[in-house]
Amino acid sequence: MTRNELKALAISMLDRAYCRYSHFPVGAALECADGSVYTGCNVENAVYPAGICAERNAIFHAVAEGHTDFVRIVIAGHSDDYCVPCGICRQVMQEFAPELEVICLNKSGEEKTFALKELLPYGFDNRWLPQES
């Protein structure tokens, strides 16, 4: 899939966002190493912690389908600034793809690209866990 096609998919997910509380729609499109793509949108709830961000929605959908080798993700929003992932989403990305390319869009479709390590330089992963002997 081309970069522009992936961006278009993320943008198309903005219309599916359920964001009646924040009024801040977010769409995401995640590309796996094998070329498969999973999309997501934010889904809110009156009890805020019960919602989910677009990025995690796409990632969890991919994991549920057996994919954990991610290459890049596009995150789209309607804001003037670039729509960057929250801390929880950054940590979830770290779990599966510490080398992930993160493409953030603003409402004009302009992009800013990050390596996940730029967004989460000291991410927690299995290196921090006690090693079995």
User: H/E element holding 47?
Assistant: none
3 state SS of 54: helix
118 annotated active-site: no
User: In one letter, which amino acid is 54?
Assistant: A
**3-class DSSP assignment, residue 9:** helix
Check 5, 31, 44, 55 and give the catalytic one.
55
Q: Which two tokens stand for residue 121?
A: 């330089």
What is the Cα–Cα distance from 63 to 22, expressed in whole angstroms? Answer: 27
Q: What are phi and psi of 102, to 5 degrees?
A: -115, 115
How far, in Å, are 4, 33, 40, 43 from residue 19 at the CA level? Answer: 25, 30, 13, 6
Tell me which residues are annotated as active site. 55
